[in-house]
Structure 1
Amino acid sequence: MIRITPQLAIDEREIGLQFIRASGPGGQNVNKVSSAVQLRFDVAHSPSLPEDVRTRLLRLAGSRLTTEGEVVIEAKRFRTQERNRQDAIARLVELIRRATEKPKPRVATRPTLASKKRRLESKKQRAETKRGRGAVSE
């Protein structure tokens, strides 16, 4: 089990890991060893996620989301499979943790009387400036 929050955990069997060849540093080693990790997590069909977290996660995933509802995370920052695997899982955990935070509801406020007066005063100033740019009468 991968612990996301004290109340939420996902089963490791829900995560698919595939090792692929990475680009970047590594010399000849990069052409021989599949050290990059492609992590796939099926958000749309995961039994571990509550519905509200699922909808926020689908919105947060952005371009990492496939049409089937899977989040794909590629980790190729490190030269070893194990470090890249840990990095990919940590990035998934962080993404899900951000999805668990409920957005603070917006509280509608009204403008103060002073701010209304300032706005009207600046509009009058602007109108006066533009009126001064008109044709000059003789």
Structure 2
Amino acid sequence: MPAFKSDQSLDKLYPKSNTTSSTDTTPAKPSTAQQFTGHIPIDKLEISYCRSSGPGGQHVNTTNTKVTVQLHLQSADWIPHETKLRLQELHKNSINKEGFWMIRSDKTRIQMMNVADCMDKIRCYITEASKPLYTPSIETLEKIRLNRERAAIRRLEQKRIRSVTKSSRRSVD
């Protein structure tokens, strides 16, 4: 006989994820980490909860569902050094004076879902920062330069045509 599963079961919320083991017991890598593996050690984070804003009536006024995750970038030995520098560059507005990177979420009314959303944000930001910067080839730069020149010539030609049209409307006295 099949067991009852609610609409909020993990299988329905995250259909493509592996729900057999939600915690990773592997230790964090030392500071010589070459690549981000996707594992975020929870014990290196400071998680705080507060009241969320927005609609929800009395429920919002009584529960702490908004999540703020603080991550000290300099002491995060599981993030490669180059990625840390890029993160500091990309997210400088969300890093405070003490060097803590603040990630907030009040997307849902469920506290644990907001924690998971913060973890997902951290994972996505680190993955994005670890990608190499795009450097266009010489051919691509030449194409861009030619397109800009053609656009400028076209624009000036359109201005001349418009000028001739307007000057032909003037009365000749």
Please say whether Structure 1 and Structure 2 have the same fold, judged by a TM-score greater than 0.5: yes
* Cα distance between partner residues in 1 of 2:37 and 2:68: 27
Contact 1:41 1:71 (C-alpha < 8 Å) held by counterparts: yes
Q: Relative contact order: is structure 1 or structure 2 higher (C-alpha 8 Å, sep ≥ 6)?
A: 1
How far did 1:68 drift?
2.1
* Cα distance between partner residues in 1 of 2:129 and 2:97: 19
| Number of residue equivalences | 135
- 1:84 equivalent in alignment to 2:114: yes
Q: Name the residue aligned to 2:11.
A: none
Distance 1:51 1:28, change over 3 A: same
- 1:62 equivalent in alignment to 2:92: yes
Gap regions ≥5 residues in structure 2? 1-23, 29-34, 168-173
Higher strand share: 1
Distance 1:28 1:6, change over 3 A: same
Q: Name the residue aligned to 1:136.
A: none
Written as runs of structure 1 = structure 2, the 5 A alignment for 1:1-138 is: 1=24, 7=37, 9-108=39-138
Share of identical aligned residues, percent? Answer: 20
How far did 1:84 drift?
0.8
Provide, for residues 59-114 of structure 1, a one-character-per-residue CA deviation record: whole Å limited to 9, x for no partner.
Answer: 11132111222210110010010111111111111111101101123444557xx8
How far did 1:9 drift?
3.2
Gap regions ≥5 residues in structure 1? 134-138
Q: Name the residue aligned to 2:16.
A: none
Contact 2:36 2:127 (C-alpha < 8 Å) held by counterparts: no
* Cα distance between partner residues in 2 of 1:65 and 1:75: 16
Distance 1:31 1:7, change over 3 A: closer
Amino acid at match of 2:39: A
